[in-house]
């Protein structure tokens, strides 16, 4: 089981948000976003921020760092190490199962991620037979996008998706993310797509839009 940082917004949480960080960061990276995101009328939420394992990253000269998968190429169609993606998907599934064991059903669990974390979020989502409440991918893309249709399982498209990206992202070009969003939409996902005038980061307007999207999930439950 991955080590995690956790925050609860109230006693006896009814919902869980599992949030995956980006390359080289750790579970503390997005913890400060909680007070910025959470709104007073929302139900009690447990935010779970796992630490990715440390592994050598090829494009960084093999330097070990926290990563959800190795980056083996600059070509976005083949840059993600498929074995690493599969391992991380399984580790995230274990975190989802732990929340279910704590009494939170899958339809009240949101999986979110930034950059590499978002790539794993979308990969998990494609393969979920028991749908989650929603998927959030910020400044991210879908690995193995050409194989998405073959990886999709029955019932997965019941999960709504929130994707947001910066127009000036130098790490993952917005066109790459936009193509992923288009493919996911064509597969049948209900997807909200947002673009912002920013680089590889998050901004206040984006967090507000994500808050609106989350609020809709809580109201539909």
At 49, list the tokens: 């921020």
In this prediction, residue 200 carries a pLDDT of 98
In this prediction, residue 120 carries a pLDDT of 98
Instruction: Round to whole Å and give the CA distance between 45 and 7.
Output: 8
Residue 110 CB neighbours (<10 A): 24
Closest by CA position to 217, among listed 157, 162, 177: 162
Instruction: Round to whole Å and give the CA distance between 57 and 45.
Output: 34
Residues 120/96, Cβ–Cβ less than 8 Å: no
Q: What is the mean pLDDT of each run of 10 residues along the chain (221 residues)?
A: 97 97 97 96 97 95 96 83 95 98 97 98 97 98 93 96 98 96 97 98 97 95 73
Which residues neighbour 27 within 8 Å (Cβ) at sequence distance 6 or greater? Answer: 3, 4, 5, 21, 49, 50, 51
Instruction: Cite the active site residues.
Output: 115, 169, 200
In this prediction, residue 77 carries a pLDDT of 77
């Amino acid at each position: 089981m991955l080590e995690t940082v956790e925050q609860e917004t109230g006693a006896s949480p009814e919902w869980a948000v599992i949030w995956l960080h980006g390359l080289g960061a750790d579970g503390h990276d997005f913890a400060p976003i909680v007070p910025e995101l959470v709104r007073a009328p929302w139900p009690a939420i447990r935010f779970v921020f796992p630490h990715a394992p440390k592994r050598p990253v090829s494009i960084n000269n093999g330097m070990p760092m926290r990563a959800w998968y190795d980056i083996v190429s600059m070509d976005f169609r083949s840059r993600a190490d498929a074995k690493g993606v599969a391992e991380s998907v399984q580790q995230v599934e274990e975190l989802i199962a732990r929340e279910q064991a704590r009494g939170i059903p899958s339809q009240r669990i949101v999986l979110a991620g930034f950059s590499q974390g978002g790539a794993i979020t979308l990969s998990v989502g494609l393969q979920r037979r028991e749908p989650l409440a929603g998927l959030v991918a910020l400044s991210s893309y879908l690995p193995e996008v050409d194989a998405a249709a073959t990886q999709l399982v029955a019932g997965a498209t019941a999960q709504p998706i929130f994707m947001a990206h910066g127009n000036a992202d130098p790490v993952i070009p917005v066109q790459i993310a936009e193509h992923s969003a288009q493919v996911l939409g064509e597969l049948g996902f209900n997807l909200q797509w947002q673009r912002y005038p920013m680089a590889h980061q998050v901004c206040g307007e984006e967090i507000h839009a994500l808050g609106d999207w989350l609020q809709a999930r809580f109201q539909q439950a």
